[in-house]
Every structure is written in structure tokens, then in C-alpha cells.
């Protein structure tokens, strides 16, 4: 799936916004890359710039939709 970072917290989690309107929660352990670099890029990017990511839906989650294998496009 593809989406855009909606919010990200240095505490180790964030949310991905999809075109269908569903938001996916993800934990830093499910991000493929440098977490600190991602947080810095998100915080320092202009508000009109969207950071695109690819991810998979965690089909085992019984709670809110969760994203796994998150990576920058």
C-alpha cells in the first residue's frame, strides 16, 4: 500500500494517511531505515510537502489498522 506520513513522534511511532481515508498506526520497529533521520526530515519539511511511504497492512492486528514494513518511496 502507499500513503503519506500524517504525523510522527520522536517517541517512536507515527501515522500514515491513505487515499481511502484510513489512517494506519506504525511503530519505529516496523520502519525500514533510519528512524532519527525520518523524524528530522518530517519535522523540517515544508507543510505542503508530503512524504510518501510504502507499507503493508498488519492483518493480525485486532486494534486500529497497523502498518508494517514501512519504507520511504
CATH number, residue 42: 2.40.50.140
pLDDT over 80 (residue 73): yes
The helix (H) or strand (E) run that includes residue 8 is strand 2-9
Query: Residue 48 — pLDDT band, cuts 50, 70, 90?
Result: confident
User: Residue ranges of the alpha helices (H) in 1-73?
Assistant: 35-44
Residue 22 belongs to domain spanning: 2-72
Q: How many structural domains are present in the chain? A: 1
pLDDT over 80 (residue 62): no
What number of CA atoms fall less than 13 Å from residue 6's CA on the CB side? 15
Average pLDDT over residues 29-57: 93
Amino acid at each position: 500500500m502507499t500513503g503519506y506520513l500524517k504525523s510522527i513522534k520522536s517517541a517512536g511511532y507515527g501515522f500514515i494517511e491513505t487515499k481511502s481515508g484510513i489512517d494506519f498506526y506504525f511503530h519505529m520497529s516496523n520502519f525500514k531505515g533510519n528512524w532519527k533521520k525520518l523524524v528530522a526530515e518530517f519535522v523540517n519539511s515544508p507543510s505542503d510537502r508530503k512524504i510518501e511511504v510504502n507499507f503493508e497492512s498488519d492483518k493480525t492486528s485486532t486494534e486500529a489498522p497497523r502498518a508494517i514494513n514501512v519504507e520511504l518511496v
